[in-house]
Amino acid sequence: MSAIVIRELQGADMRALFGIFKEVLEPGDIFPYPLDTTFLKFSEIWLAEKSFSYVGLLDGVICGAYYVKPQWPGRGSHVATATYMVGTAARGKGIGLALAEHSIDAARGRGYRAMQFNLVISTNKAAVKLWQKIGFQIIGTVPGGFEHAELGFVDTYLMYRFL
Ligand SMILES: CC(C)(COP(=O)(O)OP(=O)(O)OC[C@H]1O[C@@H](n2cnc3c(N)ncnc32)[C@H](O)[C@@H]1OP(=O)(O)O)[C@@H](O)C(=O)NCCC(=O)NCCS
């Protein structure tokens, strides 16, 4: 049986994370960033105003990661937002769920009161199902909020749960 380990991000992990990021980015169906996003830009995205970030390892290999940061500074900072990704070859093995549950516990432990996802692509069935499974609700829809590489303009969801 494969062992999932979740540990805090280390600087040396960033190249592996960039590889996973590119896998998610390239089909043009999930992340909004430009296809030519560089390692430097990715590092800025992943680390900017980060509150905390953890990686998920399967049998010792980094297969996924998440970061959590405040939605807003100051009076909006009790609401967290987060991003998750799992490499294509490692999907369906429980890493996404383990990362998600870890992030919720960790955010609650750091005093956040709620978590909000701002850009869940409506066609991203795996993500929508995962978030609903762990208690997130769709609280809003942005009509045509994402230009999907194959489907054109598709709706995006705002998803929310109290912690
Ligand atoms: C969404 C994502 C993080 C899920 O990670 P994962 O490791 O494959 O997910 P898990 O194996 O832990 O599955 C957990 C649950 O997610 C849902 N899920 C995962 N893959 C699914 C799929 N292909 N179709 C439908 N539901 C799926 C299921 O509810 C599943 O639980 P179940 O098997 O008990 O029904 C992963 O697909 C991913 O990184 N996708 C690209 C990036 C992304 O979408 N990030 C989130 C942006 S909002």
What one-character-per-residue DSSP string does 33-87 give?
S-TT--HHHHHHHHHTT-SEEEEEEETTEEEEEEEEEESSSGGGTTEEEEEEEE-
Cα 154 to averaged position of ligand 1 atoms, centre (Å): 19
Q: Which domains, from first to last, does the chain contain?
A: 4-162 (3.40.630.30)
Residues framing ligand 1 (Cβ under 6 A) = 24, 30, 84-86, 91-97, 117, 120, 124-127, 129-130, 133
Q: Quick one: what percent of the chain has pLDDT higher than 90? A: 96
pLDDT at 1: 59
Q: What pTM, to 2 d.p., does this model score? A: 0.96
- Assess whether pLDDT exceeds 80 at residue 50: no
- Among protein residues, the one with the nearest Cα to ligand 1's atom 1 is 127
Cα 44 to averaged position of ligand 1 atoms, centre (Å): 25
Cα 56 to averaged position of ligand 1 atoms, centre (Å): 14
Are 115 and 134 in contact by the 8 Å Cβ rule? The answer is no
The minimum-distance atom of ligand 1 relative to the CA of 20 is: 39
- Among protein residues, the one with the nearest Cα to ligand 1's atom 21 is 126
**Per the structure block, which two tokens stand in for 60?**
């010792």
- Assess whether pLDDT exceeds 80 at residue 90: yes
Instruction: List, in order, residues 6 or more apart from 36 with CB less than 8 Å away.
Output: none
- pLDDT of 25-45, one tens digit each? 999 999 999 999 999 999 999
Cα 79 to averaged position of ligand 1 atoms, centre (Å): 23
Which DSSP state fits 95? H
Compute the chain's Rg from CA coordinates: 15
